[in-house]
Structures are given as structure tokens and as C-alpha cells.
Structure 1
């Protein structure tokens, strides 16, 4: 999904745009990871956190309970906000527990700012207790920080690209802060400016409800990039052990966003959220893990950048292996999964893992082919609408009228239109359901192109539905008893958009 905020940024941020747009279609996880590392985004974010920690270590007031440090740095080409916490604060939060706090409890805590994540279909979610406790403890300061990155007149984010970054639980706060920003961004034309959140060694911050809310708004999901080293225990602490008896992992925490998994050998990007937890669990078992500081990520990012173009150093002979399987093996080796071993049971486990990842990748590839660019899909709908306009003209030449011609069903063309009407209705019903699923506090947001097309659809298709409704002589009052809900919402959203335009400044 394209990240519109970075279209006007500097060159290395433009690289990030390519990453966000192309990662799920054209390039492998290894190539994508190299692209991001080479874009300077990770180096920039690590540097911002390191500078903040250096300043915080000299601060005499850093001994207070649950100490969150943050720094806003406005440059000419970009703006960064870095979050970090002291080692003492991290230990204190770990002692308090990493359980989840439900959205209902958040309301009771007088912290309802994330209630926009609840929708008709996704009525609840939960957030990591340590992260939300820290967020609430510093809510006043975070509110002031939020005002500093918005234009006082327009209410929009500053013109320069915004990078929100953090390490460990500081990364979790960075994710929550970014979510908070996303809810307040105006949903209008031109495309809104969106922040990019980059975390290092951050634990998962929510459950399936939070993940579902993010996946239903793909533009938001593309705003999060999580970097995890194979020797860092902290981001893996909330993942349950894999249960070999049931062949599944029973876990409450769920990931969202895109992950870059790193080791001394390299790194790979993983956008399949079902696979992320499994890979993190494997690296936790195979590598000696402990909680790592930001210096660990600074070192690993610098090391990766120095050998970003080095490839193909596998000790396995992959010349006879199919390209998909070879690519999976290379990615597993890059993130620190040991593929060459003398232990028979480890070989079997690796073979099963490769087979499952290969099957999963084939499923995702098939889904990606079917998931067309929404604009292309809309163009297909416009072609179908042109067929309907042609039918309208034919009815005129017959001297019967559009409504009566379809109601009487006298010819084969009338029956063909029934199939065409069903196709169009299915598209718009699914579209309206998709809009309703997106997390939003009030009303619905549709781009003008879809609003205009939806109005044409109602103008052409609803009269046919009315004719079909009254074909049965016993039926009465279509407006109250026969009208489909998707017509009502499309009309309501169109009226809301017209009203919003009237409130805005006049245009010649």
C-alpha cells in the first residue's frame, strides 16, 4: 500500500515509498530488507534513539518511576520523534506483567482515545498493559507533543515527512502514539499525510481485535515497520511456545505492520503476519536470547548496511532447488535460523518448516493475483455501467421506458440486464461493507471517485430494483420496506460529502 506522506520527502524517503507500495507484489523479503536498510531509514531512526538515550543518561531526573523520554527533532527534510525508557522502567513494567488490557477497561481508565478501533464487526480489542500504562502516565506530555507536529490552522501534520521511532517498550509507545495520530488525520483529498512508525525490539502490543482493525485499513497497516534481532528476547516475550502436539501456537498477542527480522548473517522482510510469530519462536529456541539495548540494533544496522549487496553465501547447495524453496531457505538463514545441522530431528523440523512456508507463500501469491488494484476494479465496474447505459438507450428507442421495460421482462436483453445488475450490486454491497469495517470514529470516508461512481450506480440500478420489488403486486412502500441498506449508506455518504464541500471555501 502506497504511503502518501513520503511523496514529497527526500530521496531516501522516496525509497521507503517504493518499499511500502511494492513489497507485497514484486520483490522477495531479502530484496525488500536490503532496500529498506539501504534507504537510511533504519540508521536514521537508530541514531535518533541513541541520541535521546545519551541525553537521558545525563538527566538527573531520570530515576523517577515509569520514566518515558522522548525527543522531537525538526529537520529541513524530515521530522523525527524518538521514544525510549530507562532500564529501570523496563524492568518495572516487566514485573507488572505483560497481560492485555481490554478496550472496555481503557474506557474505565478514562483513556477512550483508541475507541475508533472498534467497529460494527470488530467490537473490541486489547493493548499490552505495560505500554498503555506508560502511555497513560505521560498522557499530558504526549498531548502537548502531538500539538507540536500539527499545523495550528489546518490541523494537519507538518509538511515534512514524520518518522516516529522507539526501542523496546518505547517502541510500543511509539506505535500507540502513531495510532493516535492516524485517527486525527483528515480523511479528504488530496491523500492525507501519514507518519511512518519504526520500532526496534518492541513486543507485540495488541490482540486479534487490534490486528483486525489495522488490516481493515491497509493504508494504516503500512505505517508500521518493526525491526527484530534474533538475539533480542524482549519482542519474543509475549509469544507462546509452539505446541508440537496440536501443531499450533495458542497465543493472545498478534502482530500487525511489516517486520524486518535480522541476524549477523543478514535480514529479511516478512509481511505475512501468520508467519511472523512462528519465525520469532524458532529464532528464540535456536539462538541465545536476552533483552538487548539500542546499541545492539545500531551495530546490526551498520553491519547490514556494509554488506547489503552480499548474497548467496548459503552453505547448502541450492542449485538444484526450485526458486521459491531456495528463496525461503536463504531468508531463513538470513534471519538466523540454522539450516545446516547434524541433528536428525532438527533436519526434520527445518524440512517441515520450509514445506509449510512454501505452501503459505503459494496461497498468498494466489490471493495477491486475485486482489486487484481497487482503481482497476472500479474501471471494470464503469465498463459494466456503460453496458447498462446502452440498455437504457435501447429502451428509449423502443418507446417503452427504462423502468417498464425491465419490469415486464419481455426480451432476452432484459434478462441479461438482471445478471449485470446482480454483478454491480454485489460489488457495491461488498464495497460498503468494507468501508464500514474500516476503523473510524464517525461517518465514512470514500474518495470522490467512488462517491461519484456510487451515485451513478444508484441512479441506474435502483430503479431496476424498484421495478423488481413492485413486480409482485402485493408489495408496498419500497422506501421503508424494500430498499437495501447499501443504497441508504451510499446516499448518506454522498450527502455528507456535498455538505462538507458547501462548508469549505467557495471555488470558482
Structure 2
């Protein structure tokens, strides 16, 4: 199989085939049946047991009927995005680390207020403990209709977070969360955290073509015109009544056509704006996560890429007449699932001639487009096809493979720096050799290799920031370890260049004013890779490390040398105490590194900056020992020098 055939195969199977598989399986029917029971009952959830799995369904009727959710002030109550507060933060700890924006500022996880309150209320009940007991070590399907899907999603996240923090926690053996017409529950940071943890595949959000509820929270609820809040209020009340009925099939409310058309146009406009902002990395209040199963009478198509999900939420909605079914679609998932399942074997898909003229790739896109309910002649069909192609071609994976090849090509640059380091270790160490440029020709080659490696890693970070790499990229030890090795090897050279050019005199010291952001990002990667960082922490060395484990070690040496120099001429006792406090702290820190053998042998080279600092410190302590009594303030600070 050549590479093109392999790519086409993956394109074909990622959307339409997965959607068809889901539609033909009993999962959706079983999950929806459990949702009907939950909506019709008086409890917040029901548990259904089958031979293969335990289904836990959460009621959407109770939450939809709450005053907060159904009030006219939609944005100020149930659907308001709020950060994780103290108790919730502990339950969802792996998600609470947050992400950084382009400026490196941490962005908090925001969750839908009503859903979070509902979950926390459930968490504090005895029924929740019984639920934990019912689901422990079993195959579990969590499900919910409407706002009940939000609580189901949060319970799924709770289980995943618990097993991540405590491997022996009482959690299901396997987990799948299926929601029907669920509103969005979190922001961009939550979506990225779920992708980072590789949990997206455990969530499947079933969305009908013209259901407004999964699209509602793209609108600015706090500033929504009064006529629309009134319509939505009435719709939610009507849906609640329909959910509580055993059939749960039809809304009892019939709105005037002009009102429905205006509301659909308003929602469509804001979905379009949200998807446009997403391409510019604007972090709005809500963003989808997990897999989305877009369903129409023509079939189902599964999409996992968040950007494509946003686009399809808009394009599927504007296809056909959304206003004609706005009252019914949200409570008609049972009819839709039955229709898809019944029609799948008998419906004629595409003309036979098209099968003969199209490749697997093109056929996969056409079938996915049809399953989403978007006809080839419909408005937005061309754009939808382009986004499906982009989503189905798995471009991020191809970019990742391309980066792996480029990493191999820059490996000789890294190897030459390692060779250079080995040559310098016994004299003054490669930090000082590079800083002083003892061998200009050789040092020039090392400098070019340093620059090439920096360009490669900056490009990688740019691609990651632009969502051009798989979202689980940082779960791959290969890249985390490669970034850590690069940082430990090359950052000392960056520090040397910084001080060689005297930049510390104009900008300030390296640690606070000169460190490249890439190294801060790599620090975060390494610290978040629990397995790698734990292995490094538990390792007991019998000989010195190949690379000093603190990549900023030489910047700290430079600051310590300046402190020692300043201490020689400082007359102010208060400032002198501060200087010696820093010097003694650094001395203790380095002694710990040396004792644990976490420094490279070049640190102890006879003419290294560190060895020179140690000698200067000894000389100064000897001088202070013979100083006049007026210097007694220093004796206490330096431990009786």
C-alpha cells in the first residue's frame, strides 16, 4: 500500500464509517431508552443494567424545569461560565492546571455554572456513593438528554480525573459518555485539557441537524434581545413537559413562523462568528470537546476536530429549513435514531456512476456530507466539503510525521554540540569555552547548530499553538524527552551567548530578562509528564550526569559571581545581609546538586566559572575571618566565616 492509498483509507474511515457504525449499533438506542426513563422519573438519574454494561442516565427534565435554567436571564444563571472553585477544583485537578495564551498568561478552566452546581449537589449525596459502588470496575455508559447530558459529561470527567490522580480509585473499568442535544459545558481551556489527556474519544455528543440547544451557548446570553429570551424560555418549558411524558416525542409549543425564523437567523449568525473567531484563536466562553455525531434523516457522521465541529454546527444548521422543526428537534432524538437505523440498509446513497469515477477519499467525503444532511446543491455544501476534507485527512498526524523526519535531520546538529561538549569538559567546560570563543572556527559551527536547533523547536511550538499538530502530541514521550534533552544541552550555550554579548548589563540578568519562552514551555512539558519526571527524581546516580539537570545553572552562577563581587564593596549592612543570604543559598543548592551527582563533570572543570566562583568565595571568607570587628554583622550571616 503506497502512502496515498494509506492516507485515503484513513480519510474514508474517520467520519462516515464511524458514523454508520455508531448508527447501526444498539448503543444509541439503549442510551436513548435510558434517557427516556430518567426524564420521566422523579430522581436525578437512573441506572439500567445489561449483560455488557451499566447505563447511567441523567434527567434533563428536572434541570430544564429549574427556575435558574428557564428564567429569562439565561446568561446570569444556569448557563453562565464560571471557574472551578475550591471543592470542584480538587475533584477535577488534572483539568485545573489550565493553559496559556499567546502571552504565556494562564487561562482558567470555565464550566457551565448550572451543570457544575448540579454535579456538586449530586456529589454530596448518599446516592452518589451508591452510584460509585454500582459502576466500580464495570463497563459504564453515561448518558443524558439536553442539560442532563451536561451532568453526564461532568461525571465522566470526574471518573477520568479520579483515575488519573489515584490509579486505585473506585472508577469504571471502561467508560463512554453519550449525550443527546446537550448544551456546551466548558471553554477553550477545558477542550484543550481533555485533548491533552487523550479523553476526547470517550465522549460522543449526538446532535440533530436543526436542534438549537447544542448551539445556543455560542450566543451572548447576557445581551440577548428580550424577544429571543422569551422564545427560549417558552421552548424550554415546553420541552420539559415533553420530556416528562413517556413518549417524549413532540413539543407542545407551536411558535409563529416569523419568530422561529428570526431566532434561527440569530443563532446561526453567532455560530458563524464563533467559528470565525476560533480560527483566530479567540477564546470564547464555550467550545465543543469530544466526538460529535451529526445526525440527519440521511445518516450520521462523526467528527472529533473542534474547529471542524464548530463549522459543521453552523453549516448543518443553515441547510434546509431549521425554523420548521425548531420546536420538535430537541425532543425527537428517538424518532431520528430509529429512522437512521431503519433506512441505513435500504436508502440509496449515490448514483452508481459516482462510485466508478470517485476515489475512496472522494467517496468518503461525499458520504459524510450526505450523512450530515447537507445536500450537494445546498448553500454551504462546498464549504462543508472542504472542512470535512480537512478534518478527515488527519493533517495534524501528517504534520507530526513530517516533524519526526525534520527532527532526524537536525539530529546531527545536536550530535556536533555533544561532541564539542566532550572536547571541552576537562579544561574549562563547554559553557566557558563557548562564552570566551577560544576556538573561533569551531565555536562558530557550534553557534550555527545552536541557531538551527532553536529555529526547529520554535517552529514546532508555532505549529502546536496553531493546532496543526495532534492534540495528544505532548502525551508522546518521544517529544517530551527530546525537548528536555535539547533544553539541557543547548540552553547553557544560550546563556553563554547572552553574557558574552553583555546583554545582562542592558537588559538585566538572563533568568528574569533573557530566557527564551521555548525553555519555559519545555519546563512545563517535563513537569507535567509525571512518569518521566518521577523516574528522573527517583534515579540514584553512581556517576555525574551527562548534562547538568538544571539547564539554568550557569545563569545562576553568573548571578552568584556578581553578588560576590558586590559583597566585596558593599557598605550597607542590610544589603550586605541580602547578598550573603543569596550567596549561601546558592552554595547550598549547588552542593546538593553535586551530592546527588545531578551536574555534568564540566561544572567541576578547573577553569570553569563555577570553580572560579568557589575559589573567590573561599578567598573572601578567609579575608572576612581576619576582618575588623565592624564586620561582625557578616559573621552571623555567613555562618562564622
TM over 0.5: yes
- 1:394-452 CA distances to partner (integer Å, 9 max, x unpaired)? 675799875466553414633541333323542686699899xx99xxxxx96655554
**Are the counterparts in 2 of residues 262 and 268 from structure 1 also a CA contact under 8 Å?**
yes
- 1:366-410 CA distances to partner (integer Å, 9 max, x unpaired)? 8x4354475884675366345422453367579987546655341
User: What is the CA–CA distance in structure 2 between the aligned matches of 1:455 and 1:117, rounded to whole Å?
Assistant: 20
Are residue 82 (structure 1) and residue 57 (structure 2) matched?
Answer: yes
User: What is the CA–CA distance in structure 2 between the aligned matches of 1:312 and 1:90, rounded to whole Å?
Assistant: 39
Q: Say what the alpha-carbon RMSD is for the aligned residues.
A: 5.1
Among 30, 34, 38, the residue aligned to 2:16: 30
What is the number of equivalent residue pairs in this alignment? 443
State the partner residue of 1:144.
Answer: 129
User: What is the CA–CA distance in structure 1 between the aligned matches of 2:119 and 2:270, rounded to whole Å?
Assistant: 36
Among 159, 165, 169, the residue aligned to 1:181: 159
* Aligned pairs (5 A) from 1:284-433: 285=322, 287-291=324-328, 296-308=332-344, 312-313=348-349, 330-337=367-374, 350=378, 352-361=379-388, 364=391, 368-372=394-398, 377=403, 381=407, 384-393=410-419, 402-403=430-431, 406-407=434-435, 408=437, 409-411=440-442, 413-426=445-458
Give unmatched runs, 5+ long, in structure 1.
Answer: 1-21, 151-157, 340-346, 440-444
Are residue 274 (structure 1) and residue 310 (structure 2) matched?
Answer: yes
Among 285, 298, 303, the residue aligned to 1:265: 298
User: What is the CA–CA distance in structure 2 between the aligned matches of 1:308 and 1:139, rounded to whole Å?
Assistant: 41
- 1:248-287 CA distances to partner (integer Å, 9 max, x unpaired)? 7456654332221223332222441222321235456265
**Are the counterparts in 1 of residues 60 and 144 from structure 2 also a CA contact under 8 Å?**
no
User: What is the CA–CA distance in structure 1 between the aligned matches of 2:326 and 2:397, rounded to whole Å?
Assistant: 39
User: What is the CA–CA distance in structure 1 between the aligned matches of 2:408 and 2:156, rounded to whole Å?
Assistant: 36
- 1:277-315 CA distances to partner (integer Å, 9 max, x unpaired)? 212354562652434687x54454344344545565358
For the structure 1 residues 159 and 486, does the alpha-carbon distance in structure 2 shift closer, same or farther, using more than 3 Å as the test?
farther
For the structure 1 residues 246 and 489, does the alpha-carbon distance in structure 2 shift closer, same or farther, using more than 3 Å as the test?
closer
State the partner residue of 2:145.
Answer: 167
Alpha-carbon distance, 1:353 to partner: 0.7
**Are the counterparts in 1 of residues 181 and 214 from structure 2 also a CA contact under 8 Å?**
yes
Alpha-carbon distance, 1:130 to partner: 4.7
Alpha-carbon distance, 1:149 to partner: 6.9
User: What is the CA–CA distance in structure 2 between the aligned matches of 1:26 and 1:330, rounded to whole Å?
Assistant: 9
For the structure 1 residues 456 and 377, does the alpha-carbon distance in structure 2 shift closer, same or farther, using more than 3 Å as the test?
same
* Aligned pairs (5 A) from 1:123-272: 123-124=107-108, 126-128=110-112, 130-141=114-125, 143-144=128-129, 147-148=132-133, 158-186=136-164, 195-207=175-187, 210-211=190-191, 214=194, 217=196, 219-230=198-209, 234-235=213-214, 238=217, 241-242=264-265, 249-250=272-273, 254-271=287-304, 272=308
State the partner residue of 1:460.
Answer: 489
Give unmatched runs, 5+ long, in structure 2.
Answer: 1-7, 220-263, 275-284, 541-641
**Are the counterparts in 1 of residues 177 and 202 from structure 2 also a CA contact under 8 Å?**
yes
User: What is the CA–CA distance in structure 2 between the aligned matches of 1:69 and 1:23, rounded to whole Å?
Assistant: 41
**Are the counterparts in 2 of residues 236 and 280 from structure 1 also a CA contact under 8 Å?**
no
User: What is the CA–CA distance in structure 2 between the aligned matches of 1:429 and 1:483, rounded to whole Å?
Assistant: 16
Alpha-carbon distance, 1:82 to partner: 2.1
* Aligned pairs (5 A) from 1:493-508: 493=526, 500=534
Alpha-carbon distance, 1:332 to partner: 4.6
- 1:326-367 CA distances to partner (integer Å, 9 max, x unpaired)? 76665454344466xxxxxxx6xx2x412222343455568x
**Are the counterparts in 1 of residues 457 and 518 from structure 2 also a CA contact under 8 Å?**
no
Larger radius of gyration between Structure 1 and Structure 2:
2
For the structure 1 residues 233 and 424, does the alpha-carbon distance in structure 2 shift closer, same or farther, using more than 3 Å as the test?
closer
User: What is the CA–CA distance in structure 2 between the aligned matches of 1:448 and 1:219, rounded to whole Å?
Assistant: 14
For the structure 1 residues 133 and 469, does the alpha-carbon distance in structure 2 shift closer, same or farther, using more than 3 Å as the test?
closer
**Are the counterparts in 2 of residues 263 and 335 from structure 1 also a CA contact under 8 Å?**
yes
- Normalised by the size of structure 2, how large is the TM-score? 0.55
Q: Secondary structure at the match of 1:219?
A: coil
User: What is the CA–CA distance in structure 1 between the aligned matches of 2:218 and 2:419, rounded to whole Å?
Assistant: 62
State the partner residue of 1:9.
Answer: none
State the partner residue of 2:46.
Answer: 70
User: What is the CA–CA distance in structure 2 between the aligned matches of 1:286 and 1:23, rounded to whole Å?
Assistant: 38
Alpha-carbon distance, 1:107 to partner: 3.9
User: What is the CA–CA distance in structure 2 between the aligned matches of 1:434 and 1:288, rounded to whole Å?
Assistant: 37
Alpha-carbon distance, 1:144 to partner: 2.4
**Are the counterparts in 2 of residues 233 and 284 from structure 1 also a CA contact under 8 Å?**
no
User: What is the CA–CA distance in structure 1 between the aligned matches of 2:510 and 2:341, rounded to whole Å?
Assistant: 65
User: What is the CA–CA distance in structure 2 between the aligned matches of 1:374 and 1:410, rounded to whole Å?
Assistant: 35
Alpha-carbon distance, 1:466 to partner: 3.0
Alpha-carbon distance, 1:33 to partner: 0.5
Alpha-carbon distance, 1:212 to partner: 5.4
Greater CA drift, 171-180 or 399-408: 399-408
Alpha-carbon distance, 1:225 to partner: 0.9
User: What is the CA–CA distance in structure 1 between the aligned matches of 2:537 and 2:434, rounded to whole Å?
Assistant: 40
Alpha-carbon distance, 1:71 to partner: 1.9
Are residue 471 (structure 1) and residue 497 (structure 2) matched?
Answer: no
> Greater share of helix residues, 1 or 2?
2
Among 14, 31, 43, the residue aligned to 1:45: 31
**Are the counterparts in 1 of residues 178 and 206 from structure 2 also a CA contact under 8 Å?**
yes
* Aligned pairs (5 A) from 1:14-29: 25-27=11-13, 29=15
**Are the counterparts in 1 of residues 187 and 286 from structure 2 also a CA contact under 8 Å?**
yes
